Structure 1
Amino acid sequence: MLFPAPLIPGRLLRRYKRFLADVVLDGTGEEVTAHCANPGAMLGLKDEGARVFLSQSDNPKRKLKYSWEIVEADGAFVGINTAHPNRLVEEALHAGLIPELAGFAGLRREVKYGRNSRIDILLEDETGGVTYVEVKNVHLMRTPGLAEFPDSVTARGAKHLDEMADMVDQGARAAMVYLVQRPDCERLSLARDIDPAYGAAFDAARRRGVEAYAIGCRVTPQEIVADRLVSVAAL
């Protein structure tokens, strides 16, 4: 995924009200407010003074013309925009990055299913079989090399796990794909101390046949590319 225009560097002043971030732009010193498309806690990624990169929109209807895309943390670029993972995973699936999910005949996004939910990606094979793919963005790293999910309580995530297991019960396949938007993690685990209920829902879904995969990203101010498998460790 190439960014359509060069990102604008700056320094983070504060992230607040979940979806807002004040940033001082490099060069001009202008203070701007950027949209932060990330509902999580962003542990370790929102320190004052952190180097950040913003995209700029020319859409006059947007209230905020800047969006926070990347933060530099732990010596690496980390993608924090949760609007991108579905597209990144779709690109990875077309590239055959996850062999178990390769060979599909069709791919659709945001398909209604379950109890008033939408699946991120629906894969269809030539015989009419389907695979429900739920994508989760991951950027928490508390131990070097180990990515963790979630970084805050996610009742919605637990609900989706249960609904995907229901699809397996009905004869479909279902898979969780955890997209690690950072280049410095080679393993993924659950942050069970942060959300025990999600951990329990994950365990139940796995017992019912829901699959789990993780992929990592190369992140630069020019592009984000899902480029490797990440081992799913000790879940």
Structure 2
Amino acid sequence: MLADLIENKTDIKVERKLNLGGTQVAFSALNSGELDMYVEYTGTGLVNILKKDAVNDPDKVYDIVQKEFNENYSLKWLKPLGFNNTYALAVRQDTANKYNLNTISDLAKISNELTLGPTIEFPNRPDGLIGLSKTYNMNFKEVNAVDGGLRYTALNNNKSDVIDAFSTDGLLKAFNLKVLKDDKSFFPPYYAVPLIREDTLKKHPELEDVINTLADKLTDEKMRELNYRVDSLKESPAEVSKDFLKKEGLLD
């Protein structure tokens, strides 16, 4: 979306680097100048990059990362895109019904009977299983990490009982999963925000206004629907993105 907007509104040609992997790869590339911008999550910036304790107030998180990224890395967070892609734990409907699960506290009570099938990153993140286990006193029978979207298939095939998800995952809708309420507010806010190098903005000051036209345009529901179109209906991300921008009246 950012690339389409920039090419539509300016004379700048954008090189799209796709599938860079996790935050560490993308952030290192941005910090070294190999990338000019990418979309990061405020909670990830706070906990994983700045190594700070989780904060639950979205505005405070934004203010902290804005100030410290500017001072330490000469990077600028632009305006949030609107959706909060926070972590969630999800189970099949039959599991939820069997144990009467509505919250993560409910899950913690019977976690020693269940297998967690998380993403590869989740067990080792302080804002993932490490902190979650301490906060909720939770101890799964087994933890079998699975790559990306395959964890949904594993859950559906009864190879696992619980997965970590992101609140905007289209596959939550596709597999009709029950998302458990984070009743102790453990997971920090993960608002998606374009993160850009200050020297790139100095070179192309028009970028800030162009990118900020996307501010608050993507709700959780809209993002889940777009992800559903890509993950389940197998539409191309490029076409889904362009279609969204046209419907929002953001492309000339």
Q: TM-score range by the shorter chain?
A: under 0.3
Between Structure 1 and Structure 2, the one with more helix by share is 2
Structure with more of its chain in strand, by fraction: 1
Q: TM-score, normalised by structure 2?
A: 0.25
* Structure number with bigger Rg: 2
Higher RCO structure (Cα 8 Å, ≥6 apart) = 2
| TM-score (norm. length: structure 1) | 0.26
